[in-house]
Amino acid sequence: NAGVMQNPRHLVRRRGQEARLRCSPMKGHSHVYWYRQLPEEGLKFMVYLQKENIIDESGMPKERFSAEFPKEGPSILRIQQVVRGDSAAYFCATSPGGPLEKLFFGSGTQLSVL
């Protein structure tokens, strides 16, 4: 049973470009959470999705950021018109669902904006 797969591991973009980060959950996991980790800071919640639905996006910036988890395929975190402040590690975590379940994390995508 493969773990949570994130790709790419490293992504370099110039200011104004788009960044697409992918997350494939573990088998049997239908709940996906995206977190952002800035240097010297902890994990900040961004968005929580179940299949085809956004459940909670209270941590997402109002502009330029979007997320989806389609019926088929991985969850995608999309950042349009990236700026230097978007440089961070983005982690995806998945679970079978519910507050009692531990989260399984991917290895993250390190986004660097030049």
Q: Which residues sit at the interface with another protein, rule CB under 8 A?
A: 4, 6, 31, 33, 35, 41-45, 48, 55-56, 91, 93, 95, 97-108
Return the amino acid letter for 46: M
Strand order in the sheet with 65-68: 5-7, 19-24, 75-79, 65-68
Contact criterion met (CB below 8 Å) for 63 and 88: no
| Helix (H), strand (E) at residue 31 | strand 31-37
Quote the least distance from Cβ 97 to another protein, whole Å: 7
Quote the least distance from Cβ 56 to another protein, whole Å: 6
Contact criterion met (CB below 8 Å) for 34 and 67: yes
Q: Which of 17/26 has CB closer to another protein? A: 26
Quote the least distance from Cβ 16 to another protein, whole Å: 28
Q: Which of 52/101 has CB closer to another protein? A: 101
Q: Which of 86/91 has CB closer to another protein? A: 91
